[in-house]
Structure 1
Amino acid sequence: MKSEMEDPLMVQIQLDHHHQSPPSSTYTFTKPKSKPTKSIILKMVASVAITLGLLFVFYSILFSVLEWRSSYRYSVVIDAGSSGSRIHVFRYWIESGKQVLDFGEENYGSLKLSPGLSSYADNPEGASASVTELVEFAKGRVPVGMLEKSEIRLMATAGMRLLEVSVQEQILQVIRGVLRSSGFKFQDEWASVISGSDEGVYAWVVANYAIGSLGGDPLQTTGIVELGGASAQVTFVSSEVVPPKFSRTISYGNVAYKLYSHSFLHYGQDAAEEELLESLQNSVADGIVTDPCTPKGYVFDKSSLKNSSVQAAGNFNECRSATFAMLQEGKENCAYKHCSIGSTFTPDLQ
């Protein structure tokens, strides 16, 4: 009978691939008839070491990739503007303690629905269907297991700011009910009407984050003019002392940014156009009103006209003059050193 030492050595190896384990493989090693030389032993040791090293690197990379993919997080924001509500769904990850955003198709999605929430002033319950459709869009981009961990917020802007506070609250209560039952992480205060100056600050942060200027010299940042439907936000870093009413300070890393930020209500694209048209109609008792800011050939909706016929003239110089005159209304009441628009303070531009 052969001794136990002379029997072939049977070794069973199983690789755990986490999700799917392949069938175990059996390898047979036979006891050599002669002792290997020193050089052969060294080569074998080196070969095994290299193989183990490569396996270690491979699995390290595999595990890091799996960990990175599993660390995706999601955040949902509804921007409720005057002309419509747009939902933004972000997929991001944490790197060196900071949130990293990538606006590629896989990591960002949005959907806009009209009309805006302010159009439901006479029927607050009507806002429910609009917000529900936006929430369903977000659910299609966030894994079911991540819903309760992903925050959803709604920020209403100028369209809602134009409504009475009591009407705002009625619409918000309807929206909060939808968001509470959405499955996302939500608190009632996360659905609100934000101030115009805060709206400008958010736009400024986004713009400077996108161009990579946050974290550097404040005076090397870029100012923004955000033209909404009902209001226009102006926000930038000023070297001039800004009155507290118009001042905002934010920090990014170790850098503090002192901002001028103000929202000019009624100067959004839609509201300003309506105001200019009304001003032109008021200047003529009867007859035809010439609108220099609308291209020739445009036919106005008669239901939107006050009491006159309006003809589009498409004259740039006259449009510029009419617009400038509108922006200067109320300037005589300016109580500050600089008032570029009406009686509102604006720092010197450099």
Structure 2
Amino acid sequence: MGRISFSCLFPASWHFSLPSQILPRLLLPSFRQLLFIGLLLFLLGALYLFLVTGKLPGSWITKENNFHRHIARVTDMDRTDASNPDLNYGLVVDCGSSGSRVYVYCWPSHNGNPHELLDIRQMRDQNRKSVIMKIKPGISKLAQTPEKASDYIYPLLSFAAEHIPKNKHIETPLYILCTAGMRILPESQQEAILEDLRTDIPVHFNFLFSDSHVEVISGKQEGVYAWIGINFVLGKFDHARNDGEAVVEVNVPGSDQQERLVRKRTAGVLDMGGVSTQIAFEVPKTVSFASPEQEEVAKNLLAEFNLGCDAHRTDHVYRVYVSTFLGFGGNAARQKYEQSLVKSTTTRNKLFGQRIGETADSPLLDPCLPTDLQDQIGTHEQKLHVLGTGDFDQCRHVLQPFLNRTNETQTSLSGIFQPAIDYSNSQFYGFSEFYYCTEDVLRMGGDYNASKYAQAAKSYCATQWKTLRECFDSGLYASHADLHRLQYQCFKSAWMYEVLHSGFSFPPDYKNLKTAFLVYDKEVQWTLGAILFRTRFLPLRDIQQESLKGVHSHWRHSFSVVNNLYLLLVCFFIVVLSIILYVLRLRRIHRRSAQRCSPSSVPWLEDGLGSPTLPINL
């Protein structure tokens, strides 16, 4: 009789053999086949779970497992993928005094965290250029023909419409915001222009546009928007703090209990243009006033707003001081200074019978021009010849009266209220003239050091104009400054220094001012802050939708993963149990066969003879 040995599959203690005629009764696959099938089932189950959850078995039950949809971040410099259905768009038209620009912004769906703002970026075309278009002149030139306002704005909106997917137009907010040029017009002329835009734009374009989306904004609003835009780019609204990062304790405005919280320190903004100068910074503490009159003035200079999407949350509530000083820009200050020189010199000449400045042979000495620079100031009727003496310290001294400072506490230029600044825990960025004065000629842009800046400016002012002109002609300043900058660098250096230290009261040893033209290699416009502020409630829609999806999705995925895991474990245990039962059955069969095949009943076993032929019918 043939025998099947299982010694190759089991330990020695399990060794047994089975007559071959018993095997057909089992009607079962071999042990190796069963083991192979079990292992195959286990591996297939593991692969299935990996494909469903995206995680290997070791991480199925870890706390990192979550099922929120991953949203790709829109980077600053990459071209915008307009085919991405998750992208949203927004438009801001800046109607300035000299022209109008349209800015196209985009952002992915909100990530569902109510503590975070929309991730808004400028849209970039296939060449990675910002989607911006400018036209001239300013819209205020249509004061006498307001019915042409929509025709004037049409090219800008057509340009933007070409870059935004058509199916997104209906949900793309459009804001048309007018600034300085429109502010100086009578209110009736302003309203006529705005009304033409409100009426005609919805006829030609399908953007999300309402009457409140077009307006003339105040200088205060423009300053707040600029402050928001810069701090957003700097990441100051992301409250997840890193070790060593500067923080500030804030008394939350509007809270009856004056709730206190600690968050990232925001950056203040200094901006000096040709005509005006502006300062904006967060006021973290409750402000006290020297008088009721000062408190009334402060109401027009302090802006309190919630930048977050939820009005009940206070982590994005800010109190910002914004003040704009007309006539305190670099060019306007020079003009006032020259007018003062002409007036005082003319009066003195009449009183004392002098002829100072009337000819080039008897020039008026001007400490605010480079040494030996000859210039003419005044009008044709009252023109004076001046000669630079290049004395930076004297220039600073003669400019101080033009700051219109007063002796009142908490005041700055022209006696305007200014809250106290915690200079030991603050940071400011200086733009426009603050940057040009430090960088174009002196090459000191970036971290500002008052003493080094003053020394460099003093040295420049004292340099002979002939030497400066030779440097200019040789191309030394070609990439940074023009001839006009060289002529008035001495004056503007002194004016910037006095505005900063005497006007705004920054101490000479202040170390946290950075002068800049770009923030993170890009020009930051106030329009970015405007769309951030005006779309601040849009995340609520995404958060609510995400919450509804999240409950559904979390239950579905959790149910799927948990049950698939249990199913896999059950399959595994069934396979193991089947193997054990199979082995036990084999052992029982072996014992029974051994009893039937004892020496008394099977004589050939005693002889050790094998029988090659077993009867088929038992």
When the two structures are superposed, what TM-score results if normalisation uses the length of structure 2?
0.42
Per the alignment, in what secondary structure is the counterpart of residue 95 of structure 1? coil
Match of 1:74 among 89, 92, 95: 89
Which residue does the alignment assign to 1:56? 52
Aligned mates of 1:294, 1:112 — CA distance in 2: 36
Distance 1:149 1:312 in 2: 62
- Structure 2 distance, partners of 1:160, 1:52, is 65
Q: 1:45 to 1:340 in 2, by over 3 A?
A: same
**Matching residue of 1:326:** 402
Q: Which amino acid aligns with 1:340?
A: S
TM superposition shift of 1:343? 3.2
Supply the AA of the counterpart residue of 2:44: V
Counterparts of 1:171 and 1:185 in 2: how far apart (Å)?
A: 20
- 1:187, CA displacement in angstroms? 0.8
**Structure 2 Cα separation of the partners of residues 141 and 254 of structure 1:** 37
1:38 to partner: Cα distance: 1.2
Instruction: Report the equivalent of 2:212.
Output: 189
Q: Label 1:246 to 1:312 Cα distance change in 2 as closer, same or farther (>3 A).
A: farther
1:254 aligns with 2:326: no
- 1:132-166 per-position Cα deviation (integer Å, ceiling 9, x unaligned): 22212211221111111111001112222122212
Counterpart amino acid of residue 157 in structure 1: T
Q: Does 1:225 align with 2:270?
A: yes
Identity %: 26
Contact 2:224 2:322 in 1 (8 A): yes
Bigger Rg, which one: 2
Partner of 1:87: 102
Cα-Cα RMSD: 4.1
User: How far did 1:99 drift?
Assistant: 1.5
Cα deviation 1:252-305 (Å, max 9, x = unaligned): 5523322222222344566556555655555565958898878999999x9x98
Is 2:224 the partner of 1:201?
yes
- 1: CA distance between counterparts of 2:402 and 2:410? 17
Higher relative contact order (CA 8 A, sep 6+): 2
Give me the whole-angstrom Cα distance separating, in 2, the residues matched to 1:270 and 1:167: 29
Structure with more of its chain in helix, by fraction: 2
What 5-or-longer segments of structure 1 have no aligned partner?
Answer: 1-33
CA distance in 2 between counterparts of 1:80 and 1:54 reads 55
Q: Which residue of 2 aligns with 1:167?
A: 189
Aligned residues: 309
Query: Per-residue deviation at 1:101?
Result: 2.1
**Any idea what the Cα deviations from partners look like across 1:90-111, whole Å, max 9, x if unmatched?**
1112112441224473696323
User: In the alignment, residue 225 of structure 1 is paired with which amino acid?
Assistant: L
Which residue number corresponds to residue 4 of structure 1?
none
The structure that is strand-richer by fraction is 1
**Distance (whole Å) between structure 2 residues aligned to residue 233 and residue 121 of structure 1:** 27
Give the equivalent residue in structure 2 for 1:339.
411
Q: Per-residue deviation at 1:322?
A: 6.1
Q: Is the 8 A contact 1:82 1:230 kept in 2?
A: no
CA distance in 2, matches of 1:266, 1:160: 18
In the TM superposition, residue 78 of structure 1 has moved relative to its aligned partner by 1.4
Q: Are the counterparts in 2 of residues 152 and 179 from structure 1 also a CA contact under 8 Å? A: no
- From the superposition, tell whether residues 326 and 70 of structure 1 become closer, same or farther in structure 2 (CA, over 3 Å): same
Q: Which stretches in structure 2 are left out of the alignment for 5+ residues?
A: 1-27, 55-65, 75-83, 240-246, 251-264, 290-294, 308-312, 347-356, 424-618
The one-letter code sitting in structure 1 at the alignment partner of 2:99 is: G
Q: Structure 1: which amino acid aligns with 2:269?
A: I
